[in-house]
């Protein structure tokens, strides 16, 4: 007679928890992700600051053009080109008014810290007087 088969021992393969190596790898991956988010936050903050300055610069230019458009053409640049420079809240503004055939051309450029290129704006005022 054949003896009944013996039950085999179960190999212990089920594991609970994490090893130290897995934990260290997870911490490194999490740290890299958090550093990336911190860098992105810094970049976004800088971009918002530059955008606010650019909006202020555009507002200054618009204000300059509006104030010059209220002056009669004879008073704008009667003897040749007129230019000026002002600094307002860290924004440097340079403008030039030139005379044309029945028009006055206003060229305005602004620069500020945080922007390498100068922003240029041009407007034409028709002379009706």
pLDDT tens for 39-65 read: 999 999 988 988 999 999 999 999 999
Handedness of CA 59, 60, 63, 68 (dihedral sign): negative
Write out the H or E segment, with its range, that includes residue 61.
Answer: helix 20-69
pLDDT value at residue 12: 62
Domain boundaries, the chain: 20-126
What integer best gives the mean pLDDT of the chain? Answer: 87
Please state, in angstroms and rounded to a whole number, the distance separating the CA atoms of residues 43 and 48. 9
Question: What torsion do the CA atoms of 54, 123, 125, 58 make, to the nearest 10 degrees?
Answer: 0
Specify the CATH number of the domain 20-126: 3.30.1300
Question: 41 CB contacts (<8 Å, ≥6 apart)?
Answer: none
Please state, in angstroms and rounded to a whole number, the distance separating the CA atoms of residues 90 and 92. 6
Please state, in angstroms and rounded to a whole number, the distance separating the CA atoms of residues 73 and 103. 8
Q: What's the pTM? A: 0.66
Least confident of 19-23, 76-80, 87-91: 76-80
The answer to whether residues 102 and 126 touch, using CB atoms and an 8 Å cutoff, is yes
Instruction: Look at phi and psi of residue 86 and say left if phi exceeds 0, alpha if psi is from -120 to 50, else beta.
Output: beta
User: How would residue 38 be classed by pLDDT, with cut points 50, 70 and 90?
Assistant: very high
């Amino acid at each position: 007679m054949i003896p009944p088969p013996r039950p085999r021992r179960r190999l212990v393969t089920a594991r609970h928890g994490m090893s130290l190596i897995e934990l260290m790898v997870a911490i490194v991956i999490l740290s890299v992700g958090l550093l990336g988010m911190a860098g992105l936050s810094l970049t976004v903050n800088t971009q918002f600051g530059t955008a606010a300055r650019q909006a202020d610069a555009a507002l200054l230019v618009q204000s300059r053009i509006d104030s010059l458009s209220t002056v009669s053409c004879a008073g704008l640049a009667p003897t040749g080109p007129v230019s000026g420079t002002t600094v307002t809240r860290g924004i440097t503004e340079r403008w030039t008014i030139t005379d044309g055939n029945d028009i006055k051309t206003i060229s305005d450029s602004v620069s500020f810290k945080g922007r390498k290129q100068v922003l240029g704006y041009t407007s034409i005022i028709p002379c009706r007087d």
